[in-house]
Amino acid sequence: MKKIFLVTMLSLTLMACDRHEKPINTDPVGQDYDNTGVNVRDRDSMTKTPLDQSESESDRTITQRIRKAIMADGSLSTNAKNIKIITNKGVVTLRGPVASVEEKDAVARKLENIQGIGRVENQIEVTQRH
């Protein structure tokens, strides 16, 4: 019994000493995950980000209603459904990429019937031209 225990412990010790390094989180060949170029527009301190979102109940309600209206539209792309919506003192800023001018306009129309919006800053970018 003692012999089996010693052999097992010796095996475990040798396995722990394995110097073969295994690659961790390797990227698939040909894929570049650096989106620094995309984020250049966000480097300006005047650019609205989600950190500028007001915590007032009225601003949060406006943001929630806009997001709900956008998500309910099955014709919008995933990018359009994931635009940034920042509301501060009734001023709504929309940011992010969409596939077309029509999609940008469709998102903007979602805001027409939402109460409490004082002004809209539509900074949505069209990534493809038709």
Residue-wise pLDDT for 79-116, tens only, equals 999 999 999 999 999 999 999 999 999 999 999 989 99
Could you tell me the residue ranges of all domains in the chain? Answer: 63-126
Instruction: Compute the Cα dihedral for 68, 104, 125, 55 and give only its sign.
Output: negative
- Give pTM, 2 decimals: 0.61
Strands lying side by side in the sheet with 91-98: 84-88, 91-98, 119-126
In sequence order, what are the beta bridge partners of 125?
97
Q: How far apart are CA 23 and CA 128, in angstroms?
A: 37
Give the architecture-level CATH label for domain 63-126.
2-Layer Sandwich (3.30)
pLDDT per residue as tens digits for the range 34-83: 444 555 555 555 566 665 566 789 999 999 999 999 999 999 999 999 99
Beta-carbon-side half-sphere exposure of residue 2 (alpha carbons within 13 Å): 0
